[in-house]
Amino acid sequence: MELGIFDVREWQTMVNLSTGRKVEYDSPMVRLVKKVMAQHPYPGDFEMMGNQWVTDLALELVRNYDPGFVFLSYSQPYFAIRFNPMAPEKWQALVDNALTEAQRFIEESGFIPIIVGSGDMIPVEGYMDVSGLDGLAVCSPWSAHYEGVFHPSERDLEYVKSLSGLQRLVYREEFIRELGGKPSDKDRVPDWVLVAREGFTFKGMQSSLRPLARIPAHNQFIPVYSKLGPIKTITDVSPLIEENLKTHKVALIMVEGIGVKDFTLPFTPVVNGFSWYTYEPGESQFLALTTGQHQFFNYPPGLQYWPDDNENKPYPFSGYFNHLDENALGFRYNGRSIAVGNRSMLMHATSGADIALECFARNLYNHGTMAAILREKEFKEVSRSLL
């Protein structure tokens, strides 16, 4: 059974992750995870201490669980700069802090790292309001570049074409053909996918209620620091790690909000997408990294999550995820694996790790922490107390 454990400060509870139902269960892994959670409350998405929290938790699990594969995400810079206008010095401090924490993990754990920046963030130049269309315009959660339109009218076509911030309108069939989809993908793809010009974003259903300061650039390349071997495109990362896990302990480390402009470690620019499509920070980029497969159709632009969001939706604590992708590295690797990050949902939903520890934040509100234990593996219990 896959377990979900929640810590809301001074109180913990446990559920069957796939059904959401309460369960009572005890094991060395559960005890370890509960203890680590109790001792490390989450500082909050905007707090710089959130990066230290990631390193502290990851090191704690490395010392006590001894994994071979680690997946980390330092996401605080992304949250901070997306919603808060900030001076260059302040931003530099956030970048330095996140990369320093990533390096602290590497130095103290001895893991061989692949460090990936999710891409540059740029100021918002303008908004395109698509709320008045006859069709239904839907923005995927947190997407800035893409908007899906369902059942558009002739009048909508005229309006959309008049938008100065629009880069292109992609019809469903084109989207599927150009990005290598199957005919069955048409059920998940909107009639139109609207692509914003760089710097522009959409206003429509599910677009951000909080005013935005910066949005992702159209990052055709993202920075990757690695000594493991050549990486040309984002989907090369996963097979390269899998190969090296046979002989090494490897850490895949995502640093969100940071692109080629700000990345201060030596890096290779790596292709971040396919054809005209570039990944934004989020589930598809994470999954492309962890599965080694492009992710255009599982969570496409304009995804309507709500038709399936009924009482029986699997993984009710995992947002719009209704399954865990079995191509993720944690599923493919037989050794012990962990994921830790201040990126809620994505750590457990995209890593496949034995243990995933993440903040439980929704819309940037700090509700505590969540752990997912996807499978039990043997490990040597360390008798000494935790930090």
Q: Count the site residues for another protein by CB under 8 A.
A: 37
Q: Does residue 153 bind another protein (CB under 8 A)?
A: no
Q: Does residue 136 bind another protein (CB under 8 A)?
A: yes
Q: Does residue 22 bind another protein (CB under 8 A)?
A: yes
Distance (Å, whole) CA 342 – CA 54: 7
Among 2, 8, 93, 242, binds another protein (CB under 8 A): 8
- Comparing CB distances to another protein, the nearer of 128 and 287 is 128
Listed ranges 15-23, 57-65, 163-171, 218-226: which one lies at the site for another protein (CB under 8 A): 15-23
Instruction: Please state the φ and ψ torsions of residue 268, each to the nearest 5 degrees.
Output: -105, 135
- Comparing CB distances to another protein, the nearer of 262 and 358 is 358
First to last CA, the chain: 29
CB of 150 to another protein, least distance (A): 8
Q: Which residues, including other chains, have CB under 8 Å from residue 55's CB and lie 6 or more apart?
A: 101, 102, 104, 105
Among 26, 209, 230, 385, binds another protein (CB under 8 A): 209
Q: Does residue 206 bind another protein (CB under 8 A)?
A: yes
| Helix or strand (DSSP H, E) at 367 | strand 365-373
Task: State which of positions 75-134 bind another protein (CB under 8 A).
Answer: 127, 129, 131-132
Task: State which of positions 354-373 bind another protein (CB under 8 A).
Answer: 360, 362-363, 365-368, 370
CB of 131 to another protein, least distance (A): 4
Alpha-carbon distance values, 291 to 24, 231, 240, 283, 360 (Å): 32, 15, 11, 12, 24
CB atoms under 10 Å from CB of 213, counted, come to 15
Buried b (16+ CB within 10 A) or exposed e, 338-361: bbbbbbbbbbbbbbbbbbbbbbbb
Q: Does residue 177 bind another protein (CB under 8 A)?
A: no
Distance (Å, whole) CA 254 – CA 256: 6
Listed ranges 172-180, 270-278, 288-296, 306-314: which one lies at the site for another protein (CB under 8 A): 306-314
Q: Are 290 and 331 within 8 A, CB to CB?
A: no
Distance (Å, whole) CA 233 – CA 237: 8
Distance (Å, whole) CA 103 – CA 72: 12
- Comparing CB distances to another protein, the nearer of 89 and 311 is 311
Q: Does residue 306 bind another protein (CB under 8 A)?
A: yes
| Lookup: tokens for 132 | 């008045």
Residue carrying structure tokens 């080694």 = 292
- Comparing CB distances to another protein, the nearer of 21 and 384 is 21
CB of 219 to another protein, least distance (A): 25
Among 88, 230, 266, 307, binds another protein (CB under 8 A): 307
Grouping H, G, I as helix, E, B as strand and the rest as coil, residue 93 is: helix
Q: Does residue 314 bind another protein (CB under 8 A)?
A: no
Distance (Å, whole) CA 102 – CA 254: 9
- Comparing CB distances to another protein, the nearer of 115 and 138 is 138
Listed ranges 20-28, 49-57, 171-179, 253-261: which one lies at the site for another protein (CB under 8 A): 20-28
Among 2, 16, 20, 376, binds another protein (CB under 8 A): 20
Residues in contact with another protein by the rule CB under 8 A:
6, 8-11, 13, 15, 20-22, 127, 129, 131-132, 136, 151, 203, 205-206, 209-211, 306-307, 309-311, 316-317, 360, 362-363, 365-368, 370
